[in-house]
Amino acid sequence: MQEVAKQIAAAADAVRQRWDITPRAGIVLGSGLADLAEKIDVDQSLDYTEIPHFPRTTALGHKGRLVCGHLADVPVVAFQGRFHLYEGYTAQQAAQPTRLSRALGADTLIVSNAAGGVNPRYKVGDVMVIDDQINLLFNNPLIGVNDDDLGPRFPDMSAPYDLDLQETATKIARQHNFPLHRGVYLAMLGPTYETRAEYRMARYLGADVVGMSTVPEVIAARHADMRVLGLSTITNVGSPDAPNGTSGHDVIAAAKLATDKLTKIVQGVVATLSD
């Protein structure tokens, strides 16, 4: 991890040469959700290829671009594309957007993802605010010699997602008259979608949705003492009793159904960060 700090410092320097404003939040945009960046008043945008030590996105629907600007008059950085372990990246590489956000000065991280619903009450196009997570990636971005400048050796994960931010998101959804679920996100390695038995296992373990990302980013955020808001778009419903096939293109199309809801939540939450 000691090498990570040097790499992140170099990445942050490259961004500051183009945009020297301190962001209040970093926003990670998941599959099919990159259009949220269109709501940002853009000052600068950088392809990931322009950022030193930054990985390249290969996942479907991930543009691989960092957008720097203002959302609801609040300075933010938004990552159009993340890094998954199934792409062959390490958990430390998957956490790079978090680390870069923190190095630039952000104290809040907002993560969004597309997820399969295992809670029978959820429908395609619904949004869930993440209250907790289960790590079945069997990997962790903090493995290795700890760098105390980045965070403590054993960070507390009893409440990885900020309760106040969850409450704010819930109020915004209520104001705009759409349901916002609250539940548990379970991360599996992928890139295959879950079997019927795995859906049963996820539900038995207490998960409400299943995905292939987010957990490394959130662990790194808590390591860095950042507040975290997580949002999952339900892009398919996994029923072990009535299985339906799922494709990556289906997931992206379904994610777009929730873009308006996510935009309202993210804009509303970010606006409170100026207080």
Annotated binding site for phosphate: which residue ranges?
Answer: 31, 62, 82-84, 114, 213
Q: Structure tokens of 255?
A: 């994610």
Would residue 2 be called left, alpha or beta, if left means φ above 0 and alpha means ψ between -120 and 50 degrees?
Answer: alpha
Q: Structure tokens of 134?
A: 């289960």
Tally of CB atoms within 10 A around 165:
20
Q: Which residues are part of a known binding site for a purine D-ribonucleoside? A: 194, 236
Print burial letters for 67-98: b (CB count within 10 Å at least 16), e (below 16): bbbbbbebbbbbbbbbbbbbbebbbbbbbbbb
Q: Which residues are part of a known binding site? A: 31, 62, 82-84, 114, 194, 213, 236
Evaluate whether 169 touches 265 at the Cβ level (below 8 Å). yes
Cis, peptide link before residue 191, omega less than 30° from 0: yes
